[in-house]
Amino acid sequence: MEKLLTGPPSSILESITDGYYLLNEHWCFSYINPQAEVMLRRPPGSLLGTNIWEQFPDAVGTVFQLESQRALAQGKKTSFETWYESLQIWLSVDVYPANPGLTVYVRDVTERYEAAQRLREEREMLAAIVNSTADAIITTDVQGRIQTFSPAAERVFRRPQERMLGQNLAALLPERFRAAHQQHLHQFSQSNETHRMMGLGLVKGLRSDGQELDLEVTISQLTVQKQKVLIANLRDVTQRVRADAVFEQSRTQLSELTHKLMTQEKTLVKGLAQALHDQLGQTMAAIRMAHETIVTLQADQVAPGVHKLQAQLGALISQAIRELRQVLTDLRPPLLDEHGLAAALDNELRNRSLKVPQIDISVHVQPQVAQVRWPPEVEYAAFMVAREAVENALRHSGATTVAARLAGSALCLVLEVGDNGMGMPADATVKPGHLGILGMQARAHAVGAGVTVDSGATGGTRVCFTWQSTPLL
């Protein structure tokens, strides 16, 4: 069938990207360009001379028919966009009155509608995320004027969104910080940074009732529709900061108490050791001399049974003297005050090695620190930690080797005690009823040092005491 035209079409109608067709006064196609045939999914020439409502019955009663009839009846152009269900496309339609009939331009705008739909869905998703997050999210322009104020921001600052939109972000800060904040905001907006933390980790905020808040704030910037937007993500950490302050105060008090107790312990132990040595030690020595004298004088005068009792008494006196010397050694580490940590540690481990010869106990001291003296309270704490670590290794680890290593300089001290035993459970530092590790840590903290307990390089357990001199200001 030939194309029916009211006039010869221009060649441009064949090349335009829009669909184009003519309808006569009987609603029949008198011309249709190839683009319209493709859009309507009909073979070339198949629509010419046919009635549009018969060919597309699902369009009857729709906005397409109503607007076309109105354009024909009123002789005025009409434009509209509509969803065409059978073809599953969005169409943009311009209808012009012609003599006779109508001239119609149609464009497939499905991609635009789908893009708009995706954009709406993304905005809805973003809004849902912003509205549900526990962090406050505030967006502003480069001058700091608030554009969005999330529900979490309302909760944090106790300010309604409608009152905050258009206000400056500085209104959420205590007055003493506002001038500097405005300057920092301007510098950030002029920089090439995309995001950064605000402040030195924490920023002060101001609630509607005047209470100051501690906030962690990350600020970002991006360009939306050629306009720069600043996004502030705020987290209220007021309770955490207060809890940390209370904890730090308690820790300081505990450290001061531990230091005081250690000083008292050292004084008490020193006095007790002195008393045991000067009094009980002298008494035990006198008892032994008196017993030996009696045994000598009565050598040929006592019955065999009495002689045996005298021998037993002598053995008990010797044992008591040995035990007294051991108590003195445990109370007052030999050589620590006079010769320092290295000598005292070497003497301690040599004595331990004599008691358990089946275990290889060694001490390694860097030559450059062999004669170094650290503050007395640091040396005492380090020695007591090393003693506790060695005792734990010998009693509980099943180790065959225990090694102590002393290193550092005049301004720092590193003392390690390691073994090749069964190792330490992960929760050993907090296990109820096991205060050895906590005691070591308390001693270390009291002198500004630290203690770590972990697995050694080849298994077992490693206890490390570290101290660093605090520089004078």
pLDDT in tens, 426-469: 555 444 444 577 888 888 888 889 999 988 666 789 999 999 98
pLDDT at residue 295 tops 80: no
pLDDT at 332: 62
pLDDT at residue 393 tops 80: yes
Q: Per-residue pLDDT averaged across 54-79, rounded? A: 93
**Burial per residue of 280-303, b for 16 or more beta-carbon CB atoms within 10 angstroms, e otherwise:** ebeebeeebeebeeeeeeeeeeee
**CA–CA distances in Å: residue 230 to residues 187, 190, 346:** 12, 11, 64
pLDDT at 277: 60
| Sequence spans of domains, the chain | 12-112, 133-236, 243-332, 336-468
Domain 12-112 in this protein, CATH class: alpha beta
Question: 426: buried, middle or exposed (CB in 10 Å: 19+, 13-18, 0-12)?
Answer: exposed
Q: Per-residue pLDDT averaged across 229-241, rounded? A: 88
User: First and final CA of the chain: distance in angstroms?
Assistant: 102
pLDDT category, 330, cuts 50, 70, 90?
low
Distance, in Å, from the CA atom of 451 to the CA atom of 22, rounded to the nearest integer, reads 91
pLDDT category, 13, cuts 50, 70, 90?
low
Distance, in Å, from the CA atom of 425 to the CA atom of 454, rounded to the nearest integer, reads 9
Q: Which of 6-10, 166-170, 459-463 has the weakest average pLDDT?
A: 6-10
Cross-strand bridge partners of residue 419: 402
Identity of the residue numbered 313:
L
Q: Of 287, 305, 307, which is closest to residue 297 (Cα–Cα)?
A: 307
pLDDT at residue 2 tops 50: no
Distance, in Å, from the CA atom of 429 to the CA atom of 453, rounded to the nearest integer, reads 8
- Residues sharing a CB contact under 8 Å with residue 442, sequence separation 6 or more, in sequence order: 254, 258
pLDDT at residue 196 tops 90: no
pLDDT at residue 92 tops 90: yes
Distance, in Å, from the CA atom of 64 to the CA atom of 83, rounded to the nearest integer, reads 10
Q: Per-residue pLDDT averaged across 341-347, rounded? A: 91
Secondary structure of residue 178 in the 3-state scheme: helix
State pLDDT tens for residues 114-155.
988 888 888 778 777 767 777 888 889 988 899 889 888 999
CATH architecture of 133-236: 2-Layer Sandwich (3.30)
CATH architecture of 336-468: 2-Layer Sandwich (3.30)
Distance, in Å, from the CA atom of 311 to the CA atom of 295, rounded to the nearest integer, reads 9
Cross-strand bridge partners of residue 305: none
Q: Per-residue pLDDT averaged across 72-87, rounded? A: 92
pLDDT category, 70, cuts 50, 70, 90?
very high
- Residues sharing a CB contact under 8 Å with residue 51, sequence separation 6 or more, in sequence order: 26, 27, 28
Q: Per-residue pLDDT averaged across 171-200, rounded? A: 85
pLDDT at 433: 41
pLDDT at 66: 94
pLDDT at residue 364 tops 50: yes
pLDDT at 186: 83
pLDDT at 334: 66
Identity of the residue numbered 325:
R
pLDDT at residue 302 tops 90: no
Q: Do domains 12-112 and 133-236 have the same CATH topology?
A: yes
Mean pLDDT of the chain: 83
